């Protein structure tokens, strides 16, 4: 008999176990049983070919339509070409030097075909696929025996096709010992959920579609519960330490600042501002996620919060994802504050404070001074990268931490932050994001935070028009794109060209796709070619900090016409004179990332232009995502579309949370009810038994999520 923690070698033999390990990183019974089918084929129903994605390893149930054999002149070999169909669309399979397969691959036969989807002469192709033919009704094969009417299709890899995985799963299920169920029996009964043991069997080898549904529901419930229990515990511990109360003073630096604001706050800014002011005033720690479109004016909201904290005699820290952004934040905060930010300097206002920048790449002397400012309390506001929450930086009395652009800032980091207050307090936390998040995602990824949103933009913002440039189908459009850039510059404006890669790293793409375009290559080609007449600058994360700073300043001052950059320009960079952006290999970016990126243009009074350059094919889901980005600039609408278009499980990766590995079946789009219900039950359970002492099964569920998160976090750092 086997249990979930067992290694696979003794159960499956060394050969299969090794193949699973190397192809799919599957080592234990649990790994294998949690490697759920991606979908299910039904005997007699062919797989929709339209949904295939270039570069992916796909498994399709299809019928052979035609076969043909050719000899290759150049390489003295033969190609056996198969056209397989789902009844509507076709895909070719090419076998090199395997003419003998023609014997069994007869037109009319049905089978599973697996391989990497490639393009050959603009047509989709599986090159050298693996296959397993289904026998016709009257004959039975070994495969027919072990595959029921519902055929699981697994995420597979070269050398470990779906049907081999199915065989391994079956072997393991045959010896799996039924163990105690982690869910309390009462809860299972109340929610009419099946046992874990039965559900694991039926997710792999469903007796019927009804059973499959029930199995999925149960396994999803476990996923939802695990995460909601983790969040319930986090919320519980977050309020166990008091926060430093920072009531507003009425006549301090905040009042002085408000008195000289050059614009009226929008209704949203006022409303959120009032909520934050109230939250900061009490000892209950604020944990707020502020969502607001790019340009919606989050910085002012954050600064006003920080000033309230400074008025209360404490400090505020502002964290940015990159040094470039941290430097820019420090600059713009100083600008906004004017003499109110010049404490200790000539011309500083009477009740002024000091804004200190603290980054890893500062010179030793500067850095020492900055550390001293933070530790002594001389700096009311300390701006830096996430390194600020490291232990080496100490604050005199940290009252508030503002995290800008949360999506690179995980739960673990938020936790680390909560221990940074003076005298065992937890600072208030304000997290800001320009990527609107659907409710379920918020509950699942940011379940430890309360949510607020700025929905309107300050008046006077310019529209951005976005166009997809499909270089395979319309190569001339790319030339036109560069012409447009030259025209924009001719009108006195500036432009960004964004590439996915820097270009000095060793090639590492295992997928076999062409490596993404690189800043260093593209900048060179543009400067020599279509943009010869313009000044082209380069910005990426591996430039020395002073060089980055110099480039950014030159661009802001209009001395550089076109900035070729990586996503370091994605967040926060504000150069209103930049009106156009060309994003190369746009399909390599996520929807929200593209939305962020284009938010860099259209910041002045001239309409912005964004061109998404891609080699992706019409009709692929990759292309659909780009079309979605082009179709709307409403971030809330986009985040919903994004959720719909993503494959199961991808969304958490995008949100850059550590919880991804815990979610395999749960759909944040469709399982809203279930997630909400799990949240309610989890809250009730934790209120009663915070450490889950009386619920070992649930405690283990929580541990598995937390461990996975930690592993991912460590990988990232």
Q: Which of residues 207-246 bind Mg ion (CB under 5 A)?
A: none
**CA 113/CA 84 separation, integer angstroms:** 9
Selected from 96, 120, 209, 263, the binder of ligand ADP by CB under 6 A is 263
Selected from 199, 233, 291, 299, the binder of ligand ADP by CB under 6 A is 299
Selected from 244, 572, 590, 602, the binder of Mg ion by CB under 5 A is 572
Residues facing 635 on adjacent strands:
none
Only one of the segments 58-66, 391-399, 411-419, 570-578 lies at the binding site for Mg ion (rule: CB under 5 A); that segment is 570-578
Burial code (b: 16+ CB inside 10 Å, e: under 16) for 582-601 equals bbbbbbbbbbbbbbbbbbbb
Question: Could you give the 3-state DSSP secondary structure of residue 49?
Answer: helix
Residue closer to ligand ADP (CB basis): 266 or 616: 266
Shortest separation between residue 332's beta carbon and ligand ADP, angstroms: 7
Written as six digits, the tokens of 188 are: 């299972």
Asked if 500 touches ligand ADP (CB under 6 A), the answer is: no
Residues facing 42 on adjacent strands:
150
Give the number of residues in contact with Mg ion, rule: CB under 5 A.
Answer: 1
The phi and psi torsions of 104 (rounded to 5 degrees) equal -100, -25
Shortest separation between residue 491's beta carbon and ligand ADP, angstroms: 22
Residue 623 · residue 409 · CB < 8 Å: no
Asked if 434 touches ligand ADP (CB under 6 A), the answer is: yes
Asked if 470 touches Mg ion (CB under 5 A), the answer is: no
In this structure, the chain runs to a length of 717
Residue closer to Mg ion (CB basis): 47 or 269: 269
Binding-site partner at residue 265 among ligand ADP, Mg ion, none, CB < 5 to 8 Å by type: ligand ADP
Shortest separation between residue 289's beta carbon and ligand ADP, angstroms: 14
Bridge pairing between strands 608-614 and 464-470: parallel
DSSP state of 56: S
Site string for ligand ADP, 279-298 (x = CB under 6 A): -------------x-xxxxx
Asked if 602 touches ligand ADP (CB under 6 A), the answer is: no
Tokens 């309107």 identify what position? 456
Site string for ligand ADP, 377-416 (x = CB under 6 A): ----------------------------------------
Residue closer to Mg ion (CB basis): 151 or 638: 638
Asked if 436 touches Mg ion (CB under 5 A), the answer is: no
**CA 464/CA 481 separation, integer angstroms:** 15
Residue closer to ligand ADP (CB basis): 318 or 563: 318
Burial code (b: 16+ CB inside 10 Å, e: under 16) for 413-445 equals bbbebbebbbeebbbbbbbbbbbbbbebbbbbb
Residues 6+ apart with CB under 8 A from 205: 148, 152, 169, 170, 173
Residue closer to ligand ADP (CB basis): 572 or 590: 572
Shortest separation between residue 124's beta carbon and Mg ion, angstroms: 42
Residue 538 · residue 520 · CB < 8 Å: yes
**CA 631/CA 48 separation, integer angstroms:** 26
Shortest separation between residue 380's beta carbon and ligand ADP, angstroms: 19
Shortest separation between residue 600's beta carbon and ligand ADP, angstroms: 10
Question: Could you give the 3-state DSSP secondary structure of residue 671?
Answer: coil
Selected from 21, 99, 245, 265, the binder of ligand ADP by CB under 6 A is 265
**Interacting residues with ligand ADP (CB under 6 A):** 263-266, 269, 292, 294-300, 434, 458, 574
Residue ranges that bind Mg ion, judged by CB under 5 A: 572
């Amino acid at each position: 008999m086997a249990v979930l923690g067992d290694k696979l070698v003794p159960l499956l033999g060394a050969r299969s176990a090794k193949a699973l390990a190397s192809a799919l990183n599957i080592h234990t019974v649990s790994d294998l049983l949690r490697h759920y089918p991606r979908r299910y084929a039904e005997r007699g129903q062919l797989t929709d070919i339209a949904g295939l994605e270039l570069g992916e390893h796909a498994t399709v149930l299809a019928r052979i339509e035609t076969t043909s054999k050719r000899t290759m002149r150049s390489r003295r070999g033969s190609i056996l070409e198969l056209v397989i169909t789902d009844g509507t669309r076709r895909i070719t399979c090419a076998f090199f030097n395997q003419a003998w397969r023609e014997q069994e691959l007869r037109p009319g036969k049905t089978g599973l075909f697996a391989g990497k989807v490639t393009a050959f002469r603009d047509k989709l192709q599986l090159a050298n696929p693996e296959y397993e033919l289904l026998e016709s009704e009257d004959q039975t094969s070994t495969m027919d025996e072990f595959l029921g009417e519902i055929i699981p299709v697994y995420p597979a890899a070269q050398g470990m096709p779906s049907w081999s995985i199915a065989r391994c799963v079956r072997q393991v299920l045959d010896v799996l010992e039924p163990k105690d169920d982690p869910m309390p029996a009462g809860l299972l009964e109340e929610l009419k959920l099946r046992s874990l043991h039965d559900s694991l069997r039926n997710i792999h080898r469903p007796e019927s579609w009804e059973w499959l549904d029930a199995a999925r529901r149960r396994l999803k419930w476990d996923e939802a519960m695990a995460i909601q229990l983790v969040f319930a515990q986090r919320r519980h511990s977050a309020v166990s330490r008091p926060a430093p109360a920072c009531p507003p003073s009425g006549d301090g630096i905040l009042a002085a600042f408000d008195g000289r604001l050059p614009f009226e706050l929008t209704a949203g800014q006022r409303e959120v501002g009032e909520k934050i002011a109230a939250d900061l005033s009490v000892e209950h720690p604020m944990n707020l996620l502020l969502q607001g479109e790019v340009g919606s004016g989050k910085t002012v909201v954050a600064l006003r919060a920080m000033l309230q904290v400074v008025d209360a005699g404490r400090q505020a820290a502002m964290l940015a994802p990159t040094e470039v952004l941290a430097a820019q934040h420090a600059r713009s905060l100083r600008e906004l504050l004017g003499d109110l930010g010049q404490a200790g300097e000539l011309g500083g206002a009477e009740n002024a404070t000091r804004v200190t920048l603290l980054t890893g790449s500062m010179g030793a002397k500067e850095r020492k001074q900055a550390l001293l400012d933070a530790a002594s309390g001389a700096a009311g506001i300390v701006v830096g990268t996430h390194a600020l929450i490291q232990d080496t930086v100490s604050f005199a009395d940290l009252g508030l931490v503002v995290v800008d652009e949360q999506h690179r800032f995980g739960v673990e980091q938020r936790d680390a932050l909560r221990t940074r207050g003076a005298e065992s307090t937890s600072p208030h936390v304000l997290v800001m994001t320009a990527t609107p998040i659907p409710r379920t995602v918020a509950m699942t990824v940011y379940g430890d935070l309360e949510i607020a949103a700025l929905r309107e933009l300050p008046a006077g913002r310019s529209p951005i028009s976005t166009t997809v440039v499909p270089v395979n189908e319309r190569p001339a459009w790319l030339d036109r794109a560069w012409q447009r850039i030259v025209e924009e510059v001719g009108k006195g404006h500036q432009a960004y060209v964004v590439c996915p890669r820097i270009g000095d790293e060793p090639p590492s793409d295992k997928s076999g796709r062409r490596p993404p375009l690189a800043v260093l290559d593209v900048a060179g080609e543009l400067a020599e070619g279509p943009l010869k007449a313009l000044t082209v600058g380069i910005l990426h994360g591996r430039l020395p900090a002073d060089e980055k700073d110099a480039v950014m300043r030159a661009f802001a001052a209009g001395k550089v016409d076109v900035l070729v950059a990586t996503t370091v320009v994605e967040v926060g960079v504000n150069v209103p004179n930049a009106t156009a952006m060309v994003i190369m290999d746009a399909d390599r970016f996520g929807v929200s990332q593209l939305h962020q990126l284009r938010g860099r243009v259209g910041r002045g009074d001239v309409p912005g232009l964004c061109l998404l350059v891609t080699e992706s094919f019409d009709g692929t889901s990759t292309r659909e995502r780009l079309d979605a980005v082009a179709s709307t600039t409403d971030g809330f609408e986009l985040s919903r579309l994004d959720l719909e278009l993503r494959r199961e499980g991808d969304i958490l990766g995008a949100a850059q949370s550590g919880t991804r590995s815990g979610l395999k079946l749960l759909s944040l789009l469709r399982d809203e009810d279930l997630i909400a219900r799990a949240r309610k039950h989890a809250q009730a359970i934790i209120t009663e038994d915070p450490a889950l002492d009386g619920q070992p099964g649930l405690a283990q569920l929580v541990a598995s999520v937390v461990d996975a998160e930690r592993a991912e976090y460590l990988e990232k750092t």
